[in-house]
Structures are given as structure tokens and as C-alpha cells.
Amino acid sequence: MKNNNNFISTMREYIIITIGVILVAFGIQYFYAPNEIAGGGLSGLALVISHYVPMLSVGTIIFLGNLILFIIAFILVGGDFGMKTIYASFALSFVMDFMEKVMHSHALTNNLFLAVLIGTSIIAAGIGTTFALNASTGGTDILAKILNKYSTINLGISLLIVDLFVVVCGALTFGLDKGLYSLFAVVLNGLVVDRVIIIIENKRNEKSKANSDKELAA
């Protein structure tokens, strides 16, 4: 019975992680990529690289980059984080390529402010969801998780630190105007990620407390 409960719990976690991955992919493919917004992370760096090497899709570059970075997660963060991150990062590459090549993703808005505001909110919700389950969509999120684990810096600020380099690359590639929007996206992303994590953890704590109360009552 206990094994069944563990299996169901694990499956539930991976389903939630998958939802988080889809949110991230949707935000990138329908808001960031078509508007050339390098909003930090490996996805932003992949967008810059794809600009110079157009035969490589953003999803493919993310996949290759994660092959290196998830090994770091195994070593420094732990096996559980590593396994979930491998799944999430590979799933992100697959979903992004599917959206680009099969669904022919396109900009849902060409207004840069709206693209950053809506896209970042969606992406941050996805990243926060995966982080709350001790996972990551890969890329520089892994570096942020490592920085968070070995310092007193929270995840939102960690993301901000590791993403600044990508923002600079985006500004040099796509222009200062889009670089400033990318910087706004990174700051907003860090704030929303922290908020999403807090909301999810509070709900999980409330659920745990409710279960404990039921056991005591029984």
C-alpha cells in the first residue's frame, strides 16, 4: 500500500512538473523568441546563439546545453534534483521543438512591453512550479539552485545574478532597446518565481497540516 502511495505521489509530482515545463515553453515560443527577448537563462542564451547559428533551433541548443549542466546538478545538488531536472530539461526541449515545428509558434503580441509582462508571468509560473518540487527546467536555473543551496541568497535573487550575463549578450545581439526589456523580464521573473514558490509551499504545508489533523482525529 505504501509503495502504491509513493508511486502515485511521484506520478503527481511529474505531472505537475510537466505542466510547469509546458508553461515555460509556451512563454518562450509565443512571447520571447518571436520578439527577440533574451530574458535570461539558457533559453535566452540559446536565442542569442540561434541568431548566429540559425540551423540550430532554440530547443536543440537548450538540449545540448543541458547535457553538460545537469551533470553539475547530480554532483552538487543531489540525485533527486538531477533526475527531475533531466526529465524537465529534456521535456522542455521536446515541447519547444514541437511548438515551433509542428504548431508553428508565432508572436501572440508584437508589443514588447506586453510580451515581456505576459511571457515572463507565464514562464516564471512554470519555473516556480518546478522549483517548488525540487526540480528545474535546466540551464542557468541549475546554477541558480546551486547558488541558493550553498549561500543565503534566495532563488529569485540567484536567478537574477546568473541571468545578467545573458541579458548583456541579448543587448549586444538584438540592440539596447530589447536588452532593456530583457532586463525587465529578468527582474520580474525573479520576483514572480519567489511568489509562486511561496504560494505552492504554503498550500503544501496546509495540506500536510490537514492530513495530520485527520490522523490525530482518527
Would you state the torsion angle of the CA atoms of residues 49, 54, 59, 61, taken in this order, to the nearest 10 degrees?
-40
88 in a domain, yes or no? yes
pTM listed for this prediction: 0.79
> Domain total for the chain?
1
User: How confident is the model over 2-37, as pLDDT tens digits?
Assistant: 566 778 888 888 999 999 999 999 999 999 999 989
Question: Quick one: pLDDT at residue 218?
Answer: 60
| Joined grid coordinates for residue 33 | 523568441
Question: Quick one: pLDDT at residue 88?
Answer: 87
9 in a domain, yes or no? no
Sort 208 into a burial class: Cβ within 10 Å, 0-12 / 13-18 / 19+: exposed
Enumerate residue ranges in the chain where pLDDT < 70: 1-4, 73, 77-82, 141, 155-156, 159, 210-218
Q: Is the Cβ–Cβ distance between 70 and 142 less than 8 Å?
A: yes
Question: Quick one: pLDDT at residue 1?
Answer: 57
Question: Quick one: pLDDT at residue 216?
Answer: 63
Question: Quick one: pLDDT at residue 83?
Answer: 79
6 in a domain, yes or no? no
10 in a domain, yes or no? no
152 in a domain, yes or no? yes
Q: Tell me how far apart the terminal alpha carbons of the chain are, to the nearest angstrom.
A: 19
Q: In 3D, which of 24, 33, 23 has the Cα closest to residue 54?
A: 33
127 in a domain, yes or no? yes
73 in a domain, yes or no? yes
DSSP secondary structure code for residue 30 in this structure: I
Question: Quick one: pLDDT at residue 128?
Answer: 86
Question: Quick one: pLDDT at residue 73?
Answer: 67
